[in-house]
């Protein structure tokens, strides 16, 4: 399939190769009186895969829609491929692939008809690539889109998006509702698409194991606020668990900058901390702990610590125990 994909990632005139493909500057959006995206600033360079993470309702889809110029920001601005999101010219839009969350397709069309329809709009349409992706997902070309399974719809949707040979691919939770096999197929296709081609993917997902496998960068939204935007390895190194052991009952949680989560046990406090400075002994002395241990965390635990509520209350068994 690799031969089918054109290597010609075009750049518009005057556009620097080093210029970030996505730039958001203080992007803010209100729905009613509630800010669903608050002061989001982000810069994503060309090439690589960026995972956009956050809980449901944290503002991921809203951010993506603002980036694509489908929703007006309340304030702030954003640029895609060097162009203001509010007025993306058709030539720029042709270089951006977008897969919406629910994989919308015209239900009465068959995959071939969908491709035939889409190709009228995209000058760089790659029919072979589309057919290869559809075959990869084992989709019967005679079945109407409305009768395809969710995974197959995702496959057709991805085929339609990739066959336009976009430089920038934005996927809004593409794995939502897919079975493991379909997710794996999707992932393979995404990896195939991006590796070594200088192409950029921004995707939102709740499948953290998938994210860990493919993402080069992570950006985490927590209650409308961007809390992290960094390369994957930096993120992995910054979030750690500190275990404080006490001789008696564990005291109240000490004040620690970057504290994400506290798990309280009988004689133990497990703190998940971002940007921990490594001064574990100092923290132990301050908290009166008998022993201290600093552990690395798995990626899923690191992200979940960001997404969950902060403080002691995050571990609901604690409150049950307190009641008991």
Partner 1 sequence: MNEFLAMAWKDVREHLKWAALLTLALAAAMAYALHGGGVGASGSSFFGESFLMISAVGFPLAGGLMGFLVVAFESRRDPWAFLIHRPVPRPTLFWGKIVAGWAMYFAAAGLPLAVAMLWLSRPGHVAQPFFWGMALPSVADWLTGAAGVPVGMLLALRPARWYGSRVAPVAACFIVGLCNFAAREFWQSALEAAVGISLLTAAARWVFVAGISPYPLNGWGRRALAVVILPAIAIGLFMALAMAGSFLDPESPDYSYHRIGFLKDGRVVHINYPSARRDELQLQDLDGKPLPDLASVHDYATLNEKSAPTIALARQTDYFSIMANATSYRHGSYRFFIPLQNYWSGGMVWYFRPDIARFVVYDQMSSNLLGSLGPDGFVPADREATARFPGVYLGTPQESKTESLVTFTGGVYRVDFQARKILATLYVPPKWETLASANEWVEVGETRTVEKVQSLVVMQGTRVLMLTKDGEPIRMIDLPAEFVKTTYGLSLCRTYEPDRYFVSGIEGQDWTGPFVLMEVEPATGQPGEIRRYKQEMPVPPPPPIYVPGAIGFAAAPAGMALYAALIAVFGRGDWHNFWRQIDPVMTALIIGMAISALVGGLACAWRARRGGMARGPTIAWGVAGAWLGVVGWLLMLCVEDVPLREKCPGCGKPRLITRERCEHCAAAFAPPAMDGSEVFVPLG
Taking the complex as a whole, the smallest distance from the CB of residue 298 to partner 1 amounts, in Å, to 17
* Site string (150-189) toward partner 1, x via CB under 8 A: ----------------------------------------
What is the closest distance, in whole angstroms, from the C-beta atom of residue 38 to partner 1 in the complex?
Answer: 5
CB 206 within 8 A of CB 176: yes
58 binds partner 1 (CB under 8 A): no
Q: Quick one: tokens of 138? A: 């084992």
Residues 252-273: b if buried by 16+ CB within 10 A, e if exposed: eebebeebbbbbbeeeebbbbb
As a whole number of angstroms, the distance between CA 145 and CA 276 comes to: 50
299 binds partner 1 (CB under 8 A): no
Q: What is the Cα–Cα distance from 200 to 218, expressed in whole angstroms? A: 13
The residue written with tokens 């491929």 in the block is: 81
192 lies in the site for partner 1, by CB under 8 A = no
CB of 322 to partner 1, least distance (A): 24
Nearest residue (CB) to partner 1, 186 versus 305: 305
CB of 290 to partner 1, least distance (A): 26
Interface residue with partner 1 among 5, 36, 46, 169 (CB under 8 A) is 46
Residue 48 vs 244, nearer CB to partner 1: 48
Question: Would you give the DSSP letter of residue 312?
Answer: G
With H, G, I as helix, E, B as strand and everything else as coil, classify residue 281. helix
Residue 127 touches partner 1, criterion: CB under 8 A: no
Q: Which stretch binds partner 1 (CB under 8 A): 144-152, 183-191, 228-236, 313-321?
A: 228-236
What burial letters (b/e) apply to 232-249, b meaning 16+ CB within 10 Å? beebbeebbbbbbbbeee
Minimum gap (Å) between residue 151 Cβ and partner 1:
17
Number of residues that bind partner 1 (CB under 8 A): 62
The reply to whether 54 sits near partner 1 by the rule CB under 8 A is no
For 186, the 3-state DSSP assignment is: helix
Q: What are the Cα distances from residue 159, in Å, to 79, 153, 170, 254?
A: 26, 10, 14, 52
Site string for partner 1, 75-104 (x = CB under 8 A): xx---------x---xx-xx-x-x-xxxxx
As a whole number of angstroms, the distance between CA 215 and CA 232 comes to 7
- Among residue numbers 250 through 279, which ones bind partner 1 (CB under 8 A)? 257-260, 274-275
* Site residues (CB under 8 A) for partner 1, limited to 193-222: 217
- The answer to whether 230 contacts partner 1 (rule: CB under 8 A) is yes
The distance from CA 236 to its chain's CA centroid, rounded to whole angstroms, is: 15
How big, in percent rounded to 5, are the helix, strand and coil portions of the chain? 35, 30, 40
Return residues touching partner 1 (CB under 8 A): 20, 26, 28, 30, 32-33, 38-39, 43-48, 50, 65, 68, 70-72, 74-76, 86, 90-91, 93-94, 96, 98, 100-106, 108, 117, 120-123, 217, 225, 227-231, 234-235, 238-239, 257-260, 274-275, 306, 310
């Amino acid at each position: 399939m690799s031969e089918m994909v054109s290597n010609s990632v075009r750049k518009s005139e005057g556009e620097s190769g080093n210029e970030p493909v996505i730039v958001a500057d203080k992007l803010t959006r209100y729905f009613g009186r509630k800010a669903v995206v608050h002061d989001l600033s982000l810069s994503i360079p060309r090439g690589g895969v960026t995972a956009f993470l956050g809980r449901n309702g944290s503002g991921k889809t809203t951010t993506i829609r603002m980036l694509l110029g489908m929703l007006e920001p309340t304030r702030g601005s954003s640029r895609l491929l060097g162009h203001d999101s509010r007025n993306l010219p058709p030539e720029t839009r042709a270089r951006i692939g977008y897969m919406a969350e629910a994989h919308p397709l015209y239900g009465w069309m068959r995959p071939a008809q969908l491709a035939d329809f889409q190709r009228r709009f995209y000058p760089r349409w790659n029919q072979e690539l589309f057919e290869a992706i559809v075959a990869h997902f084992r989709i019967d070309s005679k079945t109407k889109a409305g009768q395809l399974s969710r995974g197959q719809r995702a496959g057709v949707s991805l085929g339609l998006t990739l066959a336009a040979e976009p430089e920038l691919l934005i996927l809004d939770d593409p794995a939502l509702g897919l079975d493991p096999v379909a997710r794996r197929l999707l992932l393979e296709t995404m990896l195939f698409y991006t590796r070594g081609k200088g192409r950029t993917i921004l995707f939102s997902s709740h499948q953290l194991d998938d994210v860990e496998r493919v993402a080069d960068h992570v950006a985490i939204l927590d209650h409308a606020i961007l809390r992290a935007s960094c390369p994957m390895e930096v993120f992995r190194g910054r979030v750690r668990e500190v275990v404080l052991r006490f001789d008696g009952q564990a005291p109240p949680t000490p004040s620690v900058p970057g504290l994400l989560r506290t798990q309280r046990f009988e004689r133990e406090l497990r703190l998940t901390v971002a940007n921990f400075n490594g001064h574990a002994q100092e923290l132990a002395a301050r908290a009166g702990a008998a022993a201290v241990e600093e552990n690395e965390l798995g990626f899923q635990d690191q992200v979940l610590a960001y997404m969950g509520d902060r403080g002691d209350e995050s571990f609901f068994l604690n409150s049950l125990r307190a009641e008991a």
